[in-house]
Structure 1
Amino acid sequence: MSILLRGQAIAEELIQFRRDLHRHPELSFQESETAAKVAERLTRIGVPYREGVGGHGIVADIRGEQPGPIVALRADMDALPIQEETELDYRSVRPGIMHACGHDAHTSILLGAAKLLAEDRGKLHGSVRLIFQSAEEINAGAKAMIEQGVLDGVNEIYGLHNLPTLPAGMVATRHGAMMGSVDRIEITLEGKGGHGAIPDQSIDPIVCASAIVMSLQTIISREASPFEPVVVTIGSIRSGDANNVIPQTCEMTGTVRTFDPRVQEQIPERIERIVNRIAEGYRCKVRLTYIRQVPVLVNHDAPVLHVDAVVDTVIGSDRRMTAQPTLAGEDFSVYLALVPGCFFWLGSGPETNADRAYGLHHPKFTVNEECIPLGSALLAEIASQRLVELSSRSGNLDTEIRS
């Protein structure tokens, strides 16, 4: 039986598992119930695991009969602080928390791949490491798991993300940079509070903040090449409580995205220069915190070619397309900075008019569940076939050395 048909055979149980996770979402570093459900399923299919890795993360190795390389597969488990607005029968029962990014589907997909691989463990040329990760949404889970050795011995790593604007049954891959870096900025301005009608006796941090917000955009328009994507967004401003009072302080937070590691290194100095000098010009004290979160997600050529070949074999080359670059971020990039691998998009939208579907992080986001068994089949085949290739390459190298 083909890997695709084997995936379809377990579709119903994977979908039901995903719907249970969707009803009971958990925020980053709070995924204890989700992890317990994953652990129970791994026990059921006879795969030993280690829990509590990098928060509530779970790591499991499916070992073949012969020693060999290790290929890792990763899925994220956390939900978002969003109030769900769908009419699904299995919509979230937890106010203000929703799987609006499809991590419930990712977890189910990896469990499906685990079941398929466990059934074939006698044929594996090495081991497949399953990584169920906490806290992707806050860009902290991958780092936490790596610190606890999740990549030890790993030769390559693969992962996927559902994409609701791509029809289910489609896959999109990309060589090189695919997703943007993610950094966070926090700015606190201190002025001198006073009466709104007597501004000359105050120092207004809101006016200063307004100048900073506008001036930060000149980094993009006047300091970065038009051919180098950069985004600097101030997403929150908090200051004052009354319409006739000049507040003492103003706090801002923002996100910085780039598509080139070199550009990512240049941005902190530019932001610091603009923020500090404008604050000085407006007589405000300022504290700027620049938090580096995740690098640009850069796929490696050989793993991408391998994913392309598996997709073409399993579902046909007409179901594969080149992914468009995006400045949305993913902490899978942290893994790829350390070991070779590939991250790709799995279509999760309707078969027609997918471009009109609600996007990731939308309160009405939904997943076309037909993508789940396909994702499981693809991940299982990607891992098992790559083990064969890496083992063969290692064996050939050993023969050359002995010769």
Structure 2
Amino acid sequence: MTSKAAELSVEALGEQLTGIRRHLHRHPELSNEEYETTQYITSQLTQAGIRILDYGLATGVIAEIGSGKPGPVIALRADIDALPVQEETGAEYASLFPGKMHACGHDFHTAALLGAAYLLKQQEEQLPGTVRLLFQPAEEKAQGAQRVIASGALQQVRAVIGLHNKPDLPVGTIGITGGPLMAAADGFAVEVKGSGSHAAVPEAAVDPIVAAAHIVTALQSVVSRNVSPLHSSVVSVTQLHSGNSWNVIPEKAVLEGTIRNFDEAVRVKVLERFEQVAAGVAVALGATAKVRWIEGPPPVINDEALAALGIEAAEALGYQAVKPVPSPAGEDFAFYQREVPGLFVFVGTNGSREWHHPAFNLDEQALPVAARFLADMAVRSIAYYAANGGAKS
């Protein structure tokens, strides 16, 4: 079957991808609920004559482009889920579903990967290897990448390439760097237990609120006195809950928040010191503190060789490659990088709002930029690994 998209010019492809992105934007689905999105992506790929692979995923799509010639397998990844956000863009293509919105641009990522697929389909017979397309669910819950890996969809893959829109970069700019790009994102809940009493008789209690307040203060030393100033780390307490009456000292207080790190060794040390500080301060005040970790993705650490290829690809396409400022946000693309070399880049979209804002939007002229970059990187990566070890055994 000949793809209609394969016959389009880059400009016409951009128009087509804008239509796809707007359809996805109107119909957002939350993590693990991307059933209609899965069907839509499958339909678009099938119409283009691109093979769908069955890896048993409830949501998400795995597909492949290649003539069957022996050679490296390179994966391209896009995330497809939306956020529980009420949209405030005022766009004519705004979400049709109250309380759901593509406020992180995953609709852009999905459309861009479809565009890359169309471009790669044009040269399928000439590819000295295979491109595997990973339309991944549940990135916002940091679950989807691990599910894709568990399905076996990363088998035989030599390298994986992904991207994220970046509102503070102009269209035509691609942020590419080797090494750390995005942070490990861990959550925590600390349960502080004391003993309750009437508020007028505090000496009969072990006040968990006082202990929790001291823990919050002491946690500020975890980074400042345990992490080198040459590294970066964030410990943020974002919630403190305790009690339900003005005249009762409660038995329990709960702290919640997040920790961000760009280095695995620093991550391990910060989490260890966090537990020691919380437990130690609680004990000193007669209470106990139990930490429950909500493990997020590890840091995104880009392969240096792939980063060099990415700069070559961007410049060959006429785009500007810049060294991006690392983001403290988390991204489950990092789980793929634990399995195979990977490159994650920022594509400039000239947006007025940051990710997850109700008024988040982006410049759709960046769609063909992202699509062409992904396609070119796939071709370059196949050639690179063919010259440096061939297919993965």
TM range (shorter): over 0.9
Give 2:291's aligned residue: 288
Does residue 222 (structure 1) correspond to residue 217 (structure 2)? The answer is no
CA distance, structure 2, for counterparts of residue 212 and residue 376 of structure 1: 48
Secondary structure (helix, strand or coil) at the match of 2:385 reads helix
Aligned with 1:386 (options 366, 371, 381): 381
CA distance, structure 1, for counterparts of residue 388 and residue 276 of structure 2: 51
Cα shift readout 1:239-265 (whole Å, capped 9, x = no counterpart): 233333333322222211112111112
Q: CA deviation at 1:204?
A: 2.4
Give 1:36's aligned residue: 39
CA distance, structure 2, for counterparts of residue 101 and residue 81 of structure 1: 11
- Relative to structure 1, the CA distance from residue 271 to residue 393 in structure 2 (aligned partners, 3 Å threshold; closer, same or farther) is closer
- After TM superposition, the structure 1 = structure 2 runs for residues 330-349 of structure 1, keeping only pairs within 5 Å, are 330-349=331-350
Q: CA deviation at 1:55?
A: 4.7
Does residue 264 (structure 1) correspond to residue 267 (structure 2)? The answer is yes
Q: CA deviation at 1:65?
A: 4.5
Opposite residue 359 of structure 2, the aligned amino acid is: K
Opposite residue 380 of structure 2, the aligned amino acid is: Q
C-alpha RMSD over aligned residues: 1.9
CA distance, structure 2, for counterparts of residue 122 and residue 253 of structure 1: 53
Opposite residue 289 of structure 1, the aligned amino acid is: R
Give 1:354's aligned residue: none
Identity of aligned residues (%): 39
Secondary structure (helix, strand or coil) at the match of 2:296 reads strand
Q: How high is the TM-score relative to the length of structure 2?
A: 0.92
CA distance, structure 1, for counterparts of residue 94 and residue 205 of structure 2: 50
Q: Is the deviation greater in 246-255 or in 113-122?
A: 246-255
CA distance, structure 1, for counterparts of residue 253 and residue 58 of structure 2: 33
Opposite residue 70 of structure 1, the aligned amino acid is: V
Secondary structure (helix, strand or coil) at the match of 1:273 reads helix
Give 1:12's aligned residue: 15
CA distance, structure 1, for counterparts of residue 389 and residue 265 of structure 2: 34
Give 2:199's aligned residue: 196
Cα shift readout 1:360-389 (whole Å, capped 9, x = no counterpart): 111111111111111111111111232233
Secondary structure (helix, strand or coil) at the match of 2:129 reads strand
Q: CA deviation at 1:144?
A: 1.5
Q: CA deviation at 1:287?
A: 2.1
Opposite residue 260 of structure 1, the aligned amino acid is: D
CA distance, structure 2, for counterparts of residue 213 and residue 239 of structure 1: 14
Aligned with 2:165 (options 156, 162, 165): 162
CA distance, structure 2, for counterparts of residue 137 and residue 77 of structure 1: 9
Q: 2:55·2:153 contact (CA, 8 Å) conserved in 1?
A: no
Secondary structure (helix, strand or coil) at the match of 1:374 reads helix
Q: Is the deviation greater in 214-223 or in 92-101?
A: 92-101
- Relative to structure 1, the CA distance from residue 273 to residue 54 in structure 2 (aligned partners, 3 Å threshold; closer, same or farther) is farther
Does residue 274 (structure 1) correspond to residue 277 (structure 2)? The answer is yes
CA distance, structure 1, for counterparts of residue 41 and residue 193 of structure 2: 48
Q: CA deviation at 1:13?
A: 2.1
Question: Unaligned stretches of 5+ in structure 1?
Answer: 351-356, 396-403
Give 1:400's aligned residue: none
Does residue 93 (structure 1) correspond to residue 71 (structure 2)? The answer is no
Give 1:114's aligned residue: 117
Q: CA deviation at 1:321?
A: 0.9
Give 2:180's aligned residue: 177
CA distance, structure 2, for counterparts of residue 345 and residue 64 of structure 1: 30
Give 2:3's aligned residue: none
CA distance, structure 2, for counterparts of residue 195 and residue 51 of structure 1: 62
- After TM superposition, the structure 1 = structure 2 runs for residues 227-376 of structure 1, keeping only pairs within 5 Å, are 227-316=230-319, 319-349=320-350, 357-376=352-371
Q: 1:69·1:155 contact (CA, 8 Å) conserved in 2?
A: yes
Aligned with 2:24 (options 17, 21, 24): 21
Q: 1:65·1:124 contact (CA, 8 Å) conserved in 2?
A: no
- Relative to structure 1, the CA distance from residue 55 to residue 230 in structure 2 (aligned partners, 3 Å threshold; closer, same or farther) is farther
Secondary structure (helix, strand or coil) at the match of 1:68 reads coil
Q: 2:187·2:257 contact (CA, 8 Å) conserved in 1?
A: yes
Aligned with 1:103 (options 81, 103, 106): 106
Size of the aligned set, in residue pairs, is: 384
Q: CA deviation at 1:54?
A: 5.2
Question: Unaligned stretches of 5+ in structure 2?
Answer: 1-5
Q: 1:65·1:123 contact (CA, 8 Å) conserved in 2?
A: no
Q: CA deviation at 1:393?
A: 4.1
Q: CA deviation at 1:21?
A: 1.4
Secondary structure (helix, strand or coil) at the match of 1:26 reads coil
CA distance, structure 2, for counterparts of residue 56 and residue 143 of structure 1: 13
Secondary structure (helix, strand or coil) at the match of 2:243 reads coil
Secondary structure (helix, strand or coil) at the match of 1:385 reads helix
Give 1:399's aligned residue: none
CA distance, structure 2, for counterparts of residue 337 and residue 213 of structure 1: 33
Opposite residue 41 of structure 1, the aligned amino acid is: Q
Q: CA deviation at 1:30?
A: 1.5
CA distance, structure 2, for counterparts of residue 51 and residue 241 of structure 1: 52
- Relative to structure 1, the CA distance from residue 240 to residue 344 in structure 2 (aligned partners, 3 Å threshold; closer, same or farther) is same
Aligned with 1:123 (options 115, 122, 126): 126
Opposite residue 327 of structure 1, the aligned amino acid is: P
- Relative to structure 1, the CA distance from residue 127 to residue 91 in structure 2 (aligned partners, 3 Å threshold; closer, same or farther) is same
Q: How high is the TM-score relative to the length of structure 1?
A: 0.90
Cα shift readout 1:70-96 (whole Å, capped 9, x = no counterpart): 010000011122222211112222222
CA distance, structure 2, for counterparts of residue 166 and residue 129 of structure 1: 28
Q: Is the deviation greater in 189-198 or in 262-271?
A: 189-198
Q: 1:53·1:145 contact (CA, 8 Å) conserved in 2?
A: no
Cα shift readout 1:348-367 (whole Å, capped 9, x = no counterpart): 115xxxxxx21111111111
Does residue 212 (structure 1) correspond to residue 215 (structure 2)? The answer is yes
Q: CA deviation at 1:127?
A: 0.4
